[in-house]
Amino acid sequence: MEPGEPREPREPGPGAETAAAPRWEEAKTFYDNLAPKKKPKSPKPQNAVTIAVSSRALFRMDEEQRIYTEQGVEEYVRYQLEHENEPFSPGPAFPFVKALEAVNKRLRELYPDSDDIFDIVLVTNNHAQVGVRLINSINHYDLFVERFCMTGGNSPICYLKAYHTNLYLSADAEKVREAIDEGIAAATIFSPNRDVAVSQSQLRVAFDGDAVLFSDESERIVKAHGLDRFFEHEKAHENKPLAQGPLKGFLEALGRLQKKFYSKGLRLECPIRTYLVTARSAASSGARALKTLRSWGLETDEALFLAGAPKGPLLEKIRPHIFFDDQMFHVAGAQEMGTVAAHVPYGVAQAPRRTAPTKQAPSTQ
């Protein structure tokens, strides 16, 4: 071919189309990953099971709390603004929230148009300026938390009923007491002393019985008259249901969602599992507990009667995402064995309240 002559078009060689296809697919995948992910729509609050979680329950904010305590609110806010692009580390409620989202995924697959799912609300008395760091942290971990309540130093408890809250989890014991006083299921959540792997596909929730699911009627008898009188009382009242405790409604909500899986023939594959873990003795006082649940139309998947034995070792085997108890020594025993435990400040076992006002921190929830 002479210089300047036009080149003949070359036929594509064998395999040219197949070589181009992977390059196109790689480019498409790359640009798809850059595009914002479409998230499911938020459910209507009145139809959902609403879990209100404080910022310090969902994330670890120990350093921020130290700055607030030692240097005051202005330095605290300045620090948060300077670090707003650094995500917080996961806190004690984080695995629980991830498990709620795993259940939601299954429910949306089975019931695409239903609002009867978990709805997570971040509730905090942080200032609104801190909200950017909280939003960035939620997006960093790909959490679906669309509802925020940031009250700028004021107590958020008055908003919980407006959010149709079924359960409130906080690291602030005083806020939890306020919620209990308002008739809202609530607990103070504590980090475990060591990390234990929990299920990524099944939500596991463990409850104490008396003063958690049930009233503190029986604990009052033990405190006033001793165990022998308690056993006599439970035998005499075996067929009389106990009054409800502060978390009965939450167990009821879990049961309602479980039945949505049962109705699809998925009882054995249900991604929600509940446990009654009680110090009661099965022979002497267990029947009343089970008959009370039955009278409410409720059940737990497992019932463990420990007759006063420590709860920690059993909880280590269950590996729940959260365990609720009204007595701090059971909470501490659970923490020792690696369980995320939550204290329900209800009933006769609680210490007297402090009467002196205490300083409120923006992050102490």
Q: Which residues are catalytic?
A: 208
DSSP bridge pairs for 120: 51
DSSP bridge pairs for 189: 342
DSSP bridge pairs for 123: 149
